Amino acid sequence: MADPNAPILDVRDIDIWYGTQHAVDSVSFSIARGETFGLLGPNGAGKTSTLSAIEGLLQPQGGTVRIAGHDIHEDPAHAKANMGVQLQSTSFHSDLTVREIIALYAGLYGLPTPPGMVDGLLRDIQLEDARKKRFGQLSGGQQQRVSLVIATIHNPELVLLDEPTTGLDPQSRRQLWDRIERIKESGRAILLTTHSMEEAEAVCDRIAIIDHGKIIATDTPQGLIDAHASDPRVQKASRGSRITLEDVFIGLTGSELRG
């Protein structure tokens, strides 16, 4: 019987090399059931490689990734069955209707689609009136809501959200934040990447900052602020009277532009 207190995602000492470049250096973190965990870092810091290892797209040279107790490489079928992924950009066929896309992915997961099931999902994300619209006709925010439904339609234990609100207007972004909160309240674990410090503070219970392939800080958003408020690098980065998470991020990772 699975331990209900065991982490849904357990990343242990993963190492990823590209030739002589140590892209991910002994990265470890875990995410509990009902927790939203943010993985933040500048471009080229190791986020994408870490996510690829978690998704099973990349074999690390060292370390382990376990999802709901299943090793992503030793037991990939069960590990991936417990994971849902929403990417920054979607690639659903633009000529299919919203209803057709949801029914298609439900079928791919082997889920029954009784009468009213798809319409119920669309009603839940306030897109019932758009069920006959083609995906390409939806706004960016509407597309992301559909994408999040697809990522969670099979009730995965772990949901990976890779910069899900990039390019969205404030209203669409807040709607997605509310949806993320409901997913967390259902007992799932969420791994979120974002470049928005406001978003990280709003939705994340804990945050890890990664830079040059290493985790350099992990805590709650306020815990990170409190722990680093007196750091001269953070104070130099501050533009106001109050230290913010963005000040901490810039202070710890530097102000240089990354590729």
CA-to-CA distance for 234 and 230, rounded, in angstroms? 7
- 121 burial level (CB within 10 Å; 0-12, 13-18, 19+): buried
The CA-atom distances, in angstroms, between 74 and each of 62, 65, 69 are: 14, 10, 11
Dihedral Cα 139, 99, 188, 24, nearest 10 deg: -60
Q: Give the count of alpha carbons within 13 A of 46, CB side only.
A: 25
Looking from the CA of 126 toward its CB, the CA atoms found within 13 Å total 9
9-19: average pLDDT = 97
Domains of the chain: 1-82+157-259 (3.40.50.300), 88-155 (no CATH)
Average pLDDT over residues 128-141: 85
**Percentage of the chain with pLDDT > 90?**
62
Residue-level pLDDT at 224: 98
Residue 38, φ and ψ in degrees, nearest 5: -100, 130
Strand order through the sheet with 21-31: 21-31, 9-18, 62-67, 70-71
User: Has residue 251 got a pLDDT over 60?
Assistant: yes
Helix (H, G, I), strand (E, B) or coil at 100: helix
Three-state secondary structure along 121-175? Answer: HHHHCCCHHHCCCEHHHCCHHHHHHHHHHHHHCCCCCEEEEECCCCCCCHHHHHH
User: φ, ψ for residue 235 (rounded to 5)?
Assistant: -65, -35
* 106 against 16, higher pLDDT: 16
Count of beta carbons in the 10 Å neighbourhood of residue 207: 25
| Length, in residues, of the chain | 259
CB atoms within 10 A of CB 149: 23
Q: Read off the DSSP letter of residue 181.
A: H
Measured in Å, how far apart are the chain's first and last C-alpha atoms?
46
> pLDDT band at residue 2, thresholds of 50, 70 and 90?
low
**Residue 181 corresponds to which tokens in the numbers above?**
């909160």
Q: 113-117, 139-143, 207-211, 241-245: lowest mean pLDDT where?
A: 113-117
- pLDDT tens, residue by residue, 144-196: 888 888 899 999 999 999 988 888 888 888 988 998 999 999 999 999 999 99
Q: How many angstroms separate the CA atoms of 74 and 60, rounded? A: 13
Mean pLDDT, residues 73-82 taken together? 94
Sheet with 36-40: list strands edge to edge: 83-86, 158-162, 189-193, 36-40, 206-211, 214-219
Are the CB atoms for 11 and 50 separated by under 8 Å?
yes
Region 121-133: what's the mean pLDDT?
84
SS3 239: coil
pLDDT above 70: percentage of residues in the chain: 96
> What tokens appear for 202 in the block?
């709003």
Mean pLDDT in residue range 186-207: 95
Q: Is the pLDDT of residue 259 over 70?
A: no
The confidence band for 234, taking pLDDT boundaries of 50, 70 and 90, is very high
